[in-house]
Structure 1
Amino acid sequence: NIFHRFKQFFPALKKFRLPYALNQAGLPFGLLLLMLVGFITDYSIVLLIKGGNLSRSNSYQSLVQNTFGFPGFLILSALQFLYPFIGINITTDNLNNKRIPGVGPDHILAERHFVILLSTCLFTLPLSLYRNIERLGKVSFLSMVLTLTILIIVMIRAATLGPVPTENAWAFAKWNSIQAVGVMSFAFICHHNSFLIYNSLEHPTLSNWSRVTHISVGSALIISAAFAVAGYTTFTGYTQGDIFENYCRNDNLATFGRFCFGLSIITTFPLECFVTREVLSNVICSRRLSKAEHVSITLLIVAVCTALSLAYDCLGVVLELNGALSATPLIFIIPSACYLKLCPGHWFHGEKLIPIMLIIIGLFVMITGLILIGVFPQDCSHGVEMFYCADANVSGTRMLTFYLHILTNSLF
């Protein structure tokens, strides 16, 4: 089943940050940045496997260790651990943002702690205990279907709700575009599990990997752009870090989207946990983990992530920090640096010019992004009803009428 190979390129749509990235960068310039990050992601993923073939490495960690020694191995291990680990925390935290029709705020199903614990015990923990990544193929297919469903919901809402006008909503570019690059990098990164996916190919060759990468990143870029535009054009300058924070509580279609989002979160958690466990096991010991060790490390990762999500209900600034501090080096800097050192010839050879440019861009984005995050931190509006919902009248009857109208036009 190849769906888990494509799944690595779609976490962007489960972070629901891309409309907010356009809010930071401006719609036209944000789309240009999104395409640029997509192309860079595609290039660096292939470059990563090229470096692995040159150094005869079968993992990102072994590639960096063969290239830069043990210090490089430790730095990469820390970045590889932090990215999926923080991603797990964010996905776990987002499980509480689901609202069930007919369930009041005092109901136990509306209690975030109960929902997180129940989802973790029933779904995310059992799926995370799988030892073979290929067992997640059907789960990944389900996640892709849910992603497309959520995209359709956001596009319908863009047609029926938006736009909510704000000042400079259609400006070409905005001053904090660098922060948007960090968000997009966080959304697109899949380098931490690229070797796992590459080694799962039936014929792991560079040509096959390039084909899978081009198709997957291209598809993810198209869907990401559609999602970002639909989300931003609905709420313009009011677009939140999590797009579902913008929709009103009585919006039944958005509630269904939140439900799909929750299921997609459950299917994202195991793959990120798989990578986190793999990094830990490579640092602790080079051998294959025993069954008891596998279960113990998985329980530890899940327990820590669940505890953090129960303790904190707003992780937006953590997501931005993760994009600038972890995602940017993993996409822009490290694959290019490894290839530059492994590839023969002088540094200004034609094949090395692009990796050199990526290192410079990556350092600029990382340093500038961290400074902007410190100076202009994102406000937390987690769970707060937006002001325009006071006069909203998005009822189930209205949505039923809307769907019947579409069905009637389709049939007749």
Structure 2
Amino acid sequence: MASYGVVTPPPERPLTQAERDLLQSDRPGYGSCSVVEVSFNLVNATVGAGIIGLPFAVYHAGFFIGIAVSVIVAILSQLGLYMLIRAGQRTNIYKFAMLVEYLMGRPGYHFLNFIVFFQAAGACVSYFILVGDTIPVLLTLYFPQYSIFANRSLVIAVISYVFILPLNLSRSIGALARWSILSVLCLPVILLTMLIRAPVYAPEHRAPLTWVGSDIFGALGIMAFAFACSQVAFDNFRSQKDQSSSGWAKSTTLATIMSWFVSMAFAVLGYLSFGVDVQPNLFLNFPNDDPIVNIGRFALGFSMLLTIPMGFYPTREAVQKSLGFETADRQPTKMQHYIVTFVLFTVITAAGIAIRSIGQVYAIVGGFAATTLAYILPAASYLVTRRAVPLEDEAAKKPLLAHDPPTDAASSSSSTSSSSPLPSPSAKDNVAWSDESGTGRAGALMTTRWSWLDMAAVLLIIWGFMVMIFSVSGALRSSK
């Protein structure tokens, strides 16, 4: 089983932050974040715009079935995250697109990049929609003398380039860990304002406690969108200090538990307060001049500002891979990195300004892209790599930095250089894996004995296709 553990640079040549950022974005062995920090990163990527639509999903699924299904969706999403990293450990591949290329050839590589782009960019657009539904409302209410604040498009554009763009300039998603903690800390504020004010409006609405709703699969699409974060799985894994399977299981389990409790507390409270009248964006059910609700609106808008980068990083990575700027043995130059960042950010911001219907974004992006990324591809990767022979990690032997000499398992510990070489973690240069029984070794074929995880992977694929077909078809029918 691949186990990188904690990598500490030798005292004679410590990594600079820029060097660690570059290496961490490319390969395992240079993680700097704790299990808790990575968990908050995953929660921040998970509990984004989708949480606002969960009361709407509970209404369509039925109250009791909605809660039960949410547990299943959360567990399956966590299982998909674990399977994806296990597949990477089996093959020595730690980038989603390259793993799918290994499994499906070059067409699979481009297909995955498209799906990641569709999912992550769609998430960014939904976050921008929520920013547009919250911040301009507050600015107009509390600063009525400035009519410019009523211009939703202008407010989003200014906020985007002044506050959000700087967070997207780093190469590694690990740089967002502390911002993610701040974003997640906004969620209790949002929930508290809902808890205080939603019951006040509850008598005006009917909230039947039904078992089965009118559109279970449409609700599943929204929930898949709300709990999916596979597009940032490898980014977060590479940023974690403890890069063992057990360390990753701890991170994903903790993140899933936190995400589910926060999300479903919001969903249940929202549905019980507004019932059959609940909107895809729950805050649209409240009047604009409620001061306590507006605290929650501000917390939501601020949280979305910090969550947009979590969707932007995988979007940019997919574009860079499609353009050939990022491959197995090279990273984009500074010029390529910044050009892609600025152009892509401008396009996504423009889409977030132009699109207003967050409900359709939930259903289509969740039903198509989220099910593919969270269920189908991780489970398929796990099954196909049951008999995988790990690839030699050639990318790790090629220098990313000007003074980082090529290394291999035999010479990394003994090589000398007059340019003070960067540390090359010896554990990473001799990657081994094992099957779930712990008896495998590098270079051997995996056991053919089926485990419960193999059976779960088969069911995960079936579940993913079922949710995709019914939720997307339902969303397209409702849009006509």
Q: TM-score, normalization: structure 2?
A: 0.75
Q: What are the equivalent positions in structure 2 for 1:111-150 lying under 5 Å apart?
A: 111-150=151-190
Q: Deviations over 1:133-157 (max 9, x none)?
A: 2221221111011112111111222
1:374 aligned residue: 476
Judge which range, 141-150 or 349-358, deviates more.
349-358
| Higher mean C-alpha displacement, 101-110 vs 184-193 | 101-110
Amino acid at match of 2:353: L
Distance in structure 2 (CA, Å) of the matches to 1:225 and 1:259:
21
What is the CA–CA distance in structure 2 between the aligned matches of 1:116 and 1:350, rounded to whole Å?
A: 48
Within 5 Å, give how 1:2-401 maps onto structure 2: 2=34, 3-15=37-49, 16-98=52-134, 99-100=137-138, 101-104=141-144, 107-166=147-206, 169-285=208-324, 286=327, 287-344=330-387, 350-377=452-479
Q: How far 1:350 moved relative to its partner?
A: 4.4
CA–CA separation in structure 1 for the residues paired with 2:223 and 2:164: 26
How far 1:308 sits from its partner (Å)?
1.7
Paired AA for residue 378 in structure 2 = P
In structure 2, C-alpha distance between the alignment counterparts of 1:266 and 1:317, rounded to whole Å: 21
In 2, Cα distance between equivalents of 1:228 and 1:315: 16
Give the secondary structure class of the aligned counterpart of 1:196. Answer: helix
Count of residues in Structure 1 that have an aligned counterpart in Structure 2: 377
| 1:332-380 alpha-carbon deviations (Å, 9 max, x no partner) | 11111111111146696644221111111111111111111122239xx
How far apart are residue 175 of structure 1 and its match?
2.8
Contact map agreement 1:8 1:190 (CA 8 A) in 2: yes
Q: Residues 118-144 of structure 1: CA distance to partner in whole angstroms, max 9, x if unpaired?
A: 101210111111223222122111101
| Equivalent-residue separation in structure 2 for 1:45 and 1:162 (angstroms) | 38
Check conservation: 1:340, 1:347, Cα contact below 8 A. no
| Alpha-carbon separation, structure 2, partners of 1:130 and 1:38 | 30
**Secondary structure of 2:264 counterpart:** helix
Answer yes or no: is the 8 Å Cα contact 1:157–1:234 preserved in 2: no
Asked if the contact 2:168–2:341 (Cα under 8 Å) also holds between the matched residues in 1, the reply is: yes
Q: In structure 1, how many angstroms separate the alpha carbons of the residues matched to 2:479 and 2:380?
A: 31
Give unpaired runs (5+ residues) of structure 1: 379-412
Shift of residue 9, structure 1, vs aligned partner: 2.6
SS of aligned partner of 2:202: coil
1:43 CA displacement:
1.0
Match in the other structure for 1:408: none
Q: Is the 8 A contact 1:163 1:233 kept in 2?
A: no
State the alpha-carbon separation in 1 of the partners of residues 314 and 150 from structure 2: 31
Structure 2 segments unaligned to the other structure (5+ residues): 1-32, 388-446
Q: Secondary structure at the match of 2:357?
A: coil
Q: Which residue of 1 aligns with 2:24?
A: none
Shift, 1:233, TM fit: 0.7
Give CA-to-partner distance per residue, 1:132-188, whole Å, 9 cap, x none: 32221221111011112111111222333325433x722111130111111011011
Instruction: Name the amino acid aligned to 2:302.
Output: L
1:106 offset after TM fit, Å?
A: 7.6
How far is 1:190 from its partner? 0.8
Query: Which deviates more from structure 2 when the two are superposed, residues 149-158 or residues 33-42?
Result: 149-158
Q: Which has the larger radius of gyration?
A: 2
Q: Are 2:81 and 2:233, in contact at CA under 8 Å, matched by a contact in 1? A: yes
Q: Secondary structure at the match of 1:162?
A: helix
